[in-house]
Structure 1
Amino acid sequence: MRAISGLWRWRRNPLRRTTDLVESWLALVALLLILVAAPVLGSLVGSLTQDALQQSARDQHQTRHLVVATVVRKLTASAPAPDPEIATGRDVRSRVVADWTGPDGTARRGPVTTGLRSPHPGDHFALWTDGHGLTVPRPLDSTTATTHAVLAGIGTALVAAGLTEGIRRLVLWRLVRRRYARWDQAWDRAGPDWGRTGTGS
């Protein structure tokens, strides 16, 4: 609003300098970019990210399979930290040696992590594998993909707004320096006659 009132105020003011007008136009353009262009850019990036992540989630659901594994024995080594992309704060992770059969019918055995609180031999649990029965992380779900897309859109809008404001401040700094340089030149021209009786009359 100050940009619009500034433009109106400097419209026919006899004291208006070129830098004053440029400063007002700069503020107005920056305001429009922050209020219009940044949200549009954020929405566009969020939409593209949403499409890409949802497609990735669909692809993962087609290529990853949920099989039932059987605990052979518990391992004493501590379980690795859960993947923050797919785990919840309530996940309990235990490391066990388990048997399972892959989607292609291959019998598999190996160390895996499980959500069982206290695993015992013979316990069953779900395990994600690829088409050959090798363990893979749980596929990306639609909600997580949407969350990442929203965050990408918001982040892009904020970066665009910050970049616009940064450029505005840089140009404004240059304008102020130019204004001060002109004042110094004017003062240098008036300085030798300053204080003399009858100067300028």
Structure 2
Amino acid sequence: MGVWRWRRNPLRRRTDLIEAWVAFAALVCVLVVVPAVGWTAGLRVDVTLQRAAREQRQERYLTPAVVVRPAGDSLGGSAADPAAQRQSPQRTQVVAAWTAPDGTNHQGTVPAAQEPPRPGDHFRIWTDHHGRLVGHPLDPSTAAVHAALAGLAAAFGAAALVETLRRMVVRRLMHRRYLRLDRAWAAAGPDWGRAGAGS
């Protein structure tokens, strides 16, 4: 509407027409380019995360483990220390033993599967093929959510960039208008209101 309004208006300045076209271009970018940027970014992130999730599911194993003792026992009973418990509100740590998928035996400190942990309790932990502790593999639905959020963030970022550029151009045009107005006023000012000056 801004472009149409300034097409044949006798009061139209060149900067008015430029501002209207800039607003029209920004609107087209927001309606066409921004969704395309968001979709493309989300799709690429989704492909990457789904590939990572597949690789993690192939490389990580749920391995049976058995509780050997509470982890604090080896430190002289520090697990019962209230200050230590306040600093680590996560699950109780235990020393556990497990056999890796490659057949090697391992022992280490891991979070307890249930509270309170008792020696001899059986639970499962995630390990790699060599028995090293790893995190839970990425879930495909979680990967899809992360990809959607990345796409939305990219779209909002592109929209913010478009709006910032539009505002910068409009600000520059306004500055140019004020400079022209100041020059016109300086030229007409000395004769303004004088008899016979034609003003």
TM-score, scaled relative to structure 2: 0.90
Instruction: For 1:62 and 1:140, locate their aligned partners in 2 and report how far apart those are by CA, in whole Å.
Output: 11
Runs of 4+ with deviation above 6 angstroms:
79-82
What amino acid is the match of 1:195?
Answer: G
Counterpart position of 1:121: 119
The residue that corresponds to 1:170 in the other structure is 168
- Residue 41 of structure 2 is aligned to residue 57 of structure 1: no
User: Shift of the alpha carbon at 1:115?
Assistant: 2.9
Deviations along 1:30-49, one digit per CA (max 9) or x if unpaired, are 11111211111001000000
Where structure 1 has 5 or more consecutive residues not aligned to the other structure, the ranges are 83-91
Shift of 1:94: 2.0
**Which residue identity is paired with 2:96?**
A
Q: How far apart are residue 140 of structure 1 and its match?
A: 0.8
Q: Show the counterpart of 1:13.
A: 9
RMSD of aligned C-alpha atoms? Answer: 1.7
Q: Return 177-186 or 113-122, whichever deviates more.
A: 113-122
Which of 102, 106, 114 is matched with 2:100 structurally? 102
Amino acid at match of 2:149: L
Residue 58 of structure 1: CA displacement? 0.4
- Looking at structure 2, the residues matched to 141 and 114 of structure 1 have their Cα atoms a distance apart, in angstroms, of 22
Whole-angstrom distance in 2 between the partners of 1:81 and 1:59: 31
Selected match of 2:19 from 8, 23, 46:
23
C-alpha distance in 1, partners of 2:127/2:101?
Answer: 8
Distance in 2 between the 1:81 and 1:15 partners? 71
- Aligned pair partner of 2:136 in 138, 141, 149: 138
Counterpart of 2:110 (choices 109, 112, 129) is 112
Identity, % of aligned pairs? Answer: 53
Structure richer in helix, relative to its length: 2
Q: Match for 1:189 among 180, 187, 190?
A: 187
- Report the TM-score when normalising by structure 1: 0.89
Amino acid at match of 1:34: V
1:66 pairs with 2:38: no
Partner Cα separation in structure 2 for residue 81 and residue 134 of structure 1? 23
Name the count of aligned residue pairs.
188
Which runs of 5 or more structure 2 residues have no equivalent in the other structure?
A: 73-78
